[in-house]
């Protein structure tokens, strides 16, 4: 089995050099890396979930810093942290319920003896609360206070009980890792099949003889439109070319190859053509907690035109693109400037450089952003792999996938002795 640190370093290089294209590929590889990390992580007998959380956060910090614009990396790190917390809570609840049932059964069998007292509700709640908390003076004092309220067994069976507890902790550790890995496998499966799950809903939104407008290239949009075509829907697609990368040319070719009626237009013609359009369907780079969309550059213009003509603006996004952060969060980097060579040839504007004063400051500045931000008021509907949702509901959907404790991925500081 390859060393985890070597895998982490290799993935960091890919992120820094922007070798991975697309949020889906980035999310899938991030989840696979964290799965390898968890499977090889040795956890202690106590606070197993805390050890896994610290390990994932340590790697997650590096991954997010390597490419902060790719929000899917942070999304998957937080999803895995949420999985660890949920699985640990499930095991703790099951263990507490088992102890209560066992104590009640023993009390019924030995009604005349008090050797098997039932754990109080306060002790059960205290154990559940302290499972995921970081060790501190306050938690230690609370644990001592709660432990004093729980009756202790006699010392005659201390050795056998100690061995039993050690075996139970070891078994619980293996069970926790197994359950977490299984849940991460399900997450990877959801990421790989998100296009198909979204495409299954196409027939509910695209109707006969409609005109659809999109911009740039998106596999999710491609599969969505083709799924409607396979359901015998007849419609026409306008594709804005998406300058300066002209990804719309690729989408138009793929749509024509699939047998869809396609018209390729320039980005500047969007406002002129929008009055003939029944619906705008686009992909997204990320969906923020307020319902705003980080999308390929040019889509904000399309959204404004759609709002002006009362055309529904629909965004397709897999659940791995749902980000629990807000756009104003200082940790969120919403854009990235690409090379000016995509707009102009360096040979054409090399004479615009002023070298006479020795500073070499350019007279011409070329700005080539990668993304646009579309505010939630311009979006009518989100279609995810779990169904269609209004922008105002996104915060609730995001709350199901993430824990509030993991919004900031940062390792717990080491406590001094």
195-335+370-406 under CATH 3.40.50.10470, yes or no: yes
Neighbouring C-alpha atoms within 13 Å toward the C-beta of 404: 2
Q: Is the preceding omega at residue 368 within 30 degrees of 0, hence cis? A: no
pLDDT number for residue 414:
55
Task: Enter the pTM of the model.
Answer: 0.81
From the CB of residue 123, how many other CB atoms can be counted at a distance below 10 Å? 17
Q: What confidence score (pLDDT) does residue 354 get?
A: 58
Q: pLDDT value at position 165?
A: 52
CA dist 306 to 123, 192, 216, 311, 411, Å?
58, 31, 16, 5, 44
Q: For residue 26, count CB atoms less than 10 angstroms from its CB and return exposed for 0-12, middle for 13-18, buried for 19 or more.
A: buried
**What letters, b where the CB count within 10 A reaches 16 and e where it falls short, cover 304-314?**
ebbbeeebebb
Residues of the chain with pLDDT under 50: 116, 120-126, 129-141, 143-144, 147-156, 416-417
The per-residue pLDDT for 174 is 80
Measured CA to CA in angstroms, residue 149 lies from 105, 110, 115, 140 at distances of: 21, 22, 15, 15
- Residues paired with residue 296 on neighbouring β-strands, in sequence order: 371
Say if CB 240 and CB 300 are below 8 A apart.
no
Predicted pLDDT at 134: 47
Whether residue 203 contacts residue 233, with contact meaning beta carbons closer than 8 Å, is answered with yes
Order of strands across the sheet with 293-296?
Answer: 286-287, 293-296, 371-374
The confidence score (pLDDT) of residue 121 equals 46
What is the per-residue pLDDT for 150? 47
Q: Tens digits of per-residue pLDDT, 297-309?
A: 999 999 999 999 9
Which residue in the block uniquely carries the two structure tokens 């969007």?
270
CA angle at 31 for the pair 28 and 35, rounded to the nearest 5°: 140
pLDDT, tens digit, for every residue of 102-116? 655 555 555 555 554
Q: Please choose, from the candidates 222, 215, 231, the residue with its C-alpha nearest in 3D space to the C-alpha of residue 198.
A: 222
4-192 fold: 1.20.120
Domain limits of the chain? Answer: 4-192, 195-335+370-406
* DSSP character string of 328-382: T-TT-----B--GGGTS-HHHHGGGB--TTSS--BS-----BSEEEE-GGG--EE
Give the pLDDT confidence score for residue 333 in this predicted structure.
83
Q: For position 47, what pLDDT does the model report? A: 84
For position 332, what pLDDT does the model report? 85
- The pLDDT of residue 70 is 95
Give residue 106's pLDDT: 58
Tokens 């919403």 belong to which residue? 334
pLDDT at residue 132, as a whole number: 47
């Amino acid at each position: 089995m390859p060393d985890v640190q070597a895998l982490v370093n290799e993935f960091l290089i890919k992120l820094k050099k922007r070798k991975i294209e697309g949020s889906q590929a980035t999310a899938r590889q991030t989840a696979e890396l964290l799965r390898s990390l968890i499977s090889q992580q040795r956890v202690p007998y106590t606070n197993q979930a805390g050890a896994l959380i610290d390990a994932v956060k340590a790697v997650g910090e590096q991954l997010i810093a390597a490419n902060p614009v790719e929000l899917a990396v942070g999304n998957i790190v937080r999803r895995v942290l949420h999985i660890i917390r949920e699985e640990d809570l499930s095991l703790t609840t099951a263990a507490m319920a088992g102890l209560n049932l066992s104590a009640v059964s023993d009390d019924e069998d030995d009604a005349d003896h008090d050797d098997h007292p039932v754990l109080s509700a306060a002790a059960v709640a205290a154990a559940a609360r302290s499972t995921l908390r970081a060790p501190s003076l306050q938690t230690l004092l609370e644990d001592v206070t709660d432990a004093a309220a729980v009756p202790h067994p006699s010392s005659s069976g201390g050795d056998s009980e100690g061995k039993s507890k050690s075996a139970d902790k070891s078994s619980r550790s293996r069970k926790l890792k197994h359950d977490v890995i299984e849940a991460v496998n399900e997450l990877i499966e959801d990421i790989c099949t998100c296009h198909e799950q979204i495409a299954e809903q196409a027939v509910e939104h695209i109707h006969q003889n409609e005109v659809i407008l999109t911009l740039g290239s998106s596999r999710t949009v491609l599969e969505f439109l083709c799924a409607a075509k396979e359901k015998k829907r007849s419609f026409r697609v306008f594709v804005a070319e998406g300058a300066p990368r002209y990804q719309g040319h690729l989408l138009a070719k793929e749509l024509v190859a699939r047998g869809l009626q396609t018209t390729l237009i320039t980005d500047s013609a969007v406002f002129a053509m929008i009055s003939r359009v029944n619906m705008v369907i686009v992909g997204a780079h990320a969906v923020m907690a307020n319902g705003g969309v980080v999308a390929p550059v040019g889509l904000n213009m399309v959204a404004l035109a759609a709002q002006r003509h009362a055309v529904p603006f629909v965004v397709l996004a897999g659940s791995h693109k749902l980000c629990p952060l807000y756009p104003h969060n200082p940790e969120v980097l919403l854009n990235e400037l690409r090379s000016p060579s995509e707009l102009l040839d360096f040979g054409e504007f090399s004479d615009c450089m002023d070298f006479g004063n020795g500073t070499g400051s350019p007279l011409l500045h070329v700005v080539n952003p990668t993304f646009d931000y579309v505010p939630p008021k311009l979006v009518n509907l989100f279609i995810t792999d779990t169904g269609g949702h209004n922008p105002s509901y996104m915060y609730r959907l995001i709350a199901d996938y993430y824990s509030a404790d993991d919004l900031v991925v940062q390792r717990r500081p080491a406590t001094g002795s």
